[in-house]
A and B are shown apart, each in its own frame.
Chain A
Amino acid sequence: MTRHADPNLYDFWPYEHRPKIVWPGGKKLAFWIAPNIEYYEFDPPANPSRKPWPRGNPDVVAFSQRDYGNRIGHLRLMELLDKYGLRGSVSLNIALIDHHPEIIEDCVKRNWEFFSHGIYNTRYSYGMSEDAERSMLHDCIMSVEKMTGQRIRGYLAPALTHTERTIDLIAENDFWYTCDLFQDDQPQPLKTTSGKLVSLPYSLEINDVITYGALAQSPARYTDVLKRHFDQLLEEGEQSGTVMCIPLHAYLVAQPHRIAAFEDALQHITSHADDVWFATGAEIAQYFRETYWDQSIQDIRTRGVPRAGTGFANLSGHP
C-alpha cells in the first residue's frame, strides 16, 4: 500500500481575513463540552499496531481508574454541568450502552448529545477492512438510536485510530462532523467522496488526556490554560466566529482533587454568556453546514490553495 505524505482531506486556508462567521444570537464563540464516556476492556485482544495496555493485560490501576470515571466521575461532571446549565456532547464508546446503560439514561435525561467514539477504546481502526469499518459504523448508529432515539452525527475515531477510508465512510453514512482533525479553530468543509462533512474543532492541546495525562499539569495550570484559550478565541471571534471545545475524561478531570479547577474555568467561561453560544457538536456542525458551508468553499477557492481530488485520492503532484 502506498502511504501518502499528505492526506488531502482539506485545503490550505489562511486564518487571516476569512469571511465573517456569526453564531446564532450574534455570538462570537461557539462553545461545546465533550465528555468522553468510554469503556476500556479489562482483557482486550492484542493488536499488531498497538498494545491496548502498555504494561500488558491486565493493568489494574489503569483499568480501575477508568472504571472510577464510569462509577463516580461522570455523575460528578453531570452535576457540575447542570449547575451551569450546560449540556454535554458525549464522545461515546458504544459498548458502554450495553455495559452501563444507567450512565446513558442520565445523559438522556439531560438532553445531551451522543456521538461515536467507536465500540471500545481498546479496539483500533488500524488494519480494519472496509467491510469491518462499515459494520462498526452501522453498529454505532443503530445502537445509539435503539437506546436513545438519537441519530448520531459526529465521530471521533476510537483512540484516535484511523484507516485511509474513515473520513469518507463517515461522510457517506450521513455524519455531519468529525472531531478527528486538529488543523483549525474554525469549522471547515472536508474533501470527501460523498456527503457534507465538517471538520469541527475538538482539541488535544486543552484535552485533559494531554494536560493532566501526558503533561502532568497541575489543576491550577489546567484552569489557566482553559481561561487563556477561551479569552483568545473569544477576542478573535469578533472578526469571525471561533469554536472552542473542552474534551473531558471523567477519570482525569473529575478526580476529587481536580474538579474544582474545572469549575473555576467554567465560571469564567459562563460569565461571558453575552458573547458565547453554548451548543452541542451537532448544533454547531448543522449551523455551519446550513449557513457557512458555501461561503467557506468559495473563500478557500479564492484565497486558499484548492487542490484536486478527495482524501487520500488523486494526490499526484503533492510532495
Chain B
Amino acid sequence: MMPDTYEHRRYGNDHDRYGWDYSARRAPLRIGGEVKAGAFIVVPLEFFPLNPSGKPFLHPGAMVTPYPDLRHYTTRDYGLRVGVYRILKELESRGLKATFAVNALLLDYCAPLIDRIRAAGHEIAAHGLSTDHIHHAGLSLDEERHLISETCARFDAHGLRPTTWMSPARTQSFNTPDLVREAGFTACLDWEMDQVPIAMKTNHGALDCLPLLNELNDVNLLTGKRQTESEWVAQILAAARLLLDEHARRGAQLFGFTLTPYVVGQPFRIHALRELLDALVRQEQLLLTSASDLLDAFKQPAE
C-alpha cells in the first residue's frame, strides 16, 4: 500500500480563497462613527417545489411525504403570503432594513411582495433559482454558470441588479465564488470564517464574505433543535453584547442572523421577534441593518 500523501500540508489554509489571518495578530478594525459592532438581518424567500429532485440532497424544509405533499408545500408558502408581512411590519415599525435573499423562481410568483420590499428600501439579494437548484461540485462549470446566468436574467427582467449573493442551502461548488463574482456579485453570505468582512480571492476580483451565523439559524434552532423562542432571542442578544464588549480589544466586528418567514412569521412566534428587535435597537452602538449597508459601514475607515 502506498503511504498517504498530503499535498496541501503547509502553513496557512489548504486552499487559496483567502489567507490565514490569525485574529490575535492583526490590528483591531476601527470604523467611522459611533458604531462598535454590527448585525445584519437576512430574510430568505424560498421556493420549495412540490416535485424536488433532491439533487445532490434535499434542501432543509423541502417536501417530506410522498407526492403531492401539499402539507409541506403550503406550510412553506405560508411564509411568503403571511409570515413575511409580519416580519416586514416589525422591521419597518422600528425603521430597520434587512437583506431579503430571494430565489429567482419566486420573482413572478410573488411580484407584489418583491415590489413592496424594494419600495421600502430593503436590500434584495440573489438566492439562486430555488431550493431545488443547489450549487455543488457535481455540476460542470457550464452547468453552474447557466444556473447563475438564469438567476441574473430573472432578476434583470424585474429591473433588479442585486450585488449580494447567497447560494441555495448556502452550498457551493469549488467554482461558485469565481462564477458569482464573474456575474457581477460583490458580496457573498455563504462563508462565515471570521467576525469581520473577508475579501475572498476570485479569478474576477474580490468577493466580500460576511458571516451569517449558521449556529443562529432560526430554522435549525426553532424547528430542528426545538429550542424555545426565548432561547433563540437570548442567543442573538448574547452575540451582539459580546461583540460590543469585545470592541475595546478586538475592534468592530459583525455577524448576521436569519428570519425565516415560515418559522419566525408564525403567529405564536412573532412576539419573540418584537422582543429581539427592541432589545437590539436599545444597543446604541450596534448597527443593525442589511448586509450591504453593514458592509459599507465596515468599509468606512475611522476618521
Contacts and interface: CB of A to CB of B under 8 A. Distances in A.
B33 interface: no
Interface stretch (A10-18, A55-63, A104-112, A113-121): A10-18
B130 interface: yes
A12 B80 contact: yes
Contacts of A7: 50, 68, 70, 73
Interface residues of B, number: 39
Q: Which size class do A's interface residues fall under?
A: 35 or more
Nearest to B83: A15
Among B74, B75, B269, the most chain A Cβ lie within 10 Å of the Cβ of B74
B112 A14 contact: yes
* Interface of A (DSSP majority class): loop
Interface stretch (A179-187, A275-283, A290-298): A179-187
Nearest to A199: B74
Contacts of B105: 319
Interface string B223-234: 000101000000
Contact of B268 (A163, A205, A215, A319): A205
A272 interface: no
A228 interface: yes
Contacts of A225: 268
Among B68, B105, B113, the most chain A Cβ lie within 10 Å of the Cβ of B68
Nearest to A159: B65
* Interface of B (DSSP majority class): helix
B49 interface: yes
A3 B110 CA distance: 22
A161 B65 contact: yes
Interface in A215-241: 215-217, 221, 224-226, 228-229, 231-233, 236
A204 B75 contact: yes
Among B47, B82, B269, the most chain A Cβ lie within 10 Å of the Cβ of B82
A154 B124 CA distance: 41
Among A9, A205, A226, the most chain B Cβ lie within 10 Å of the Cβ of A205
B68 A182 contact: no
B81 interface: yes
Interface of B: 47, 49-51, 65-68, 70-71, 73-75, 77-78, 80-82, 85-86, 88-89, 105, 108-113, 116, 130, 226, 228, 266-271
30 contacts: A3-B68, A4-B50, A7-B73, A14-B110, A14-B113, A15-B82, A126-B66, A160-B65, A163-B68, A164-B68, A180-B71, A181-B74, A183-B74, A184-B78, A184-B81, A185-B82, A205-B75, A216-B226, A221-B228, A224-B268, A226-B268, A228-B267, A228-B268, A229-B266, A229-B268, A232-B267, A232-B268, A304-B112, A305-B112, A312-B68
Interface of A: 3-7, 9, 12-16, 49-50, 126, 160-164, 180-185, 204-206, 215-217, 221, 224-226, 228-229, 231-233, 236, 303-305, 312, 319
